[in-house]
Amino acid sequence: MKTMKTLFGISAAFAVSLLATSALAQTYPERTITMVVPFSAGGPTDTVTRLVAESMSKDLGQQIVVENVGGAGGTLGAGRVASADADGYTLLLHHIGMATSATLYRKLAYDTLNAFEYVGLVTDVPMAIVARKDLEPTDLKGLIEYMKANKDTVTVANAGIGAASHLCGMMLMSALQTQFVTVPYKGTGPAMTDLLGGQVDVMCDQTTNTTKQIQGGTIKAYAVTSPARLGNLPDIPTAEEAGLPGFQVGIWHGIYAPKGTPAEVTERLSKSLQLALKDPNVVARFAELGTVPSAEAEATPAALKAKLEGEIARWKPVIEAAGQFAD
Ligand code: ASP
């Protein structure tokens, strides 16, 4: 069948889709939005998501329901959003794992760079290397010796291959040139419960999940992965200071939508994200948790796209050199 043309040479189907898009952009959002967290409830990504979602929903005038789809280092939740309708009603809040899993997994249910549209960056969270309260070593050098000497028995929690805790564990293994026993969870919320209960020994996790426990003395902290010490954990040295030169990593978080979501919708969400990141409640809670909201210019589709592309390229050779892949 011949393509129908309008007077201006635009195909009828294209014209209809343009009209539908602008109608959607004018009315969006009309109903509840689902924001998928690819990890368990109560963990750091979940904490960040709930704070931001609550604030964004005030501006959008619609509720944002947070859905936890944990497992496989965040790739199950990302896959769920990749295959959702591209109508702005299913979103994903994921972290650096979006970039590392693109290389770590030989087979993913989605093509990372082609399955999503971008809303914007949310925050960049440092990590802390922590352990159960009664683990013997008192400083990072001691912990390193202990982990080397007990490599077959010391257990290190993570949220699965591709998770931030997995990445930090991988960096630790390569710095120590030692393999140790890892225990995967669906998120580091439940892993923290086990660390507090003494069922697992060590973890490296975002400060959004560790600050309160470190301050309360219910877990031991050996180092933070930021370039400088953190204001609310002034006694905890950086990994660099404590004996691991170059051991720095920040866990950036971003919001995504399925590929094909209209630009008007992602722009609308980006504006709402920018407002949320200036919400005094979000700013104050982020500060308590040891992180800062992304600047307005970063909470944009273009900034998140550039970040993801850059981070996939940055981590690819590191992961390939480590040679540990998942199927
Ligand atoms: N902190 C976790 C990670 O290792 C994820 C989470 O539970 O939020 O990526």
Give the model confidence (pLDDT) of 76-117 as tens digits: 999 999 999 999 999 999 999 999 999 999 999 999 999 999
Structure tokens at 29: 């959002």
Average pLDDT, the chain: 93
Q: How far is the CA of 12 from the centre of ligand 1 (A)?
A: 46
Report whether 174 contacts 320 (CB < 8 A): no
Task: Report pLDDT for 302.
Answer: 98
Distance spanning both ends of the chain, measured CA to CA: 44
43 ligand 1 Cβ < 6 A: yes
| Domains of the chain in sequence order | 30-124+251-322 (3.40.190.150), 126-242 (3.40.190.10)
CA distance to 50, 113, 197, per residue, from 311 (Å): 25, 11, 35
* Beta carbon of 164 within 6 Å of any ligand 1 atom: yes
Count the residues in the chain. Answer: 327
**202-206 and 33-37 as β-strands: parallel, antiparallel, unpaired?**
unpaired
Of 2, 248, 293, 266, the C-alpha closest to 121 is: 293
Is 1 a residue whose pLDDT tops 50? Answer: no
Residue nearest to atom 7 of ligand 1 (CA): 187
* Distance between Cα 159 and ligand 1 center (Å): 6
Ligand 1 binding pocket includes 97 (Cβ within 6 Å): yes
Q: How would residue 23 be classed by pLDDT, with cut points 50, 70 and 90?
A: low
Q: Is the CB of 92 under 6 A from ligand 1?
A: no
55-65 mean pLDDT: 98
Q: How far apart are CA 160 and CA 169, in angstroms?
A: 11
Q: Which two tokens stand for residue 324?
A: 């540990």
Give 121-176 pLDDT, tens digit per residue: 999 999 999 999 999 999 999 999 999 999 999 999 999 999 999 999 999 998 99
Q: Residue 321 has what pLDDT? A: 83
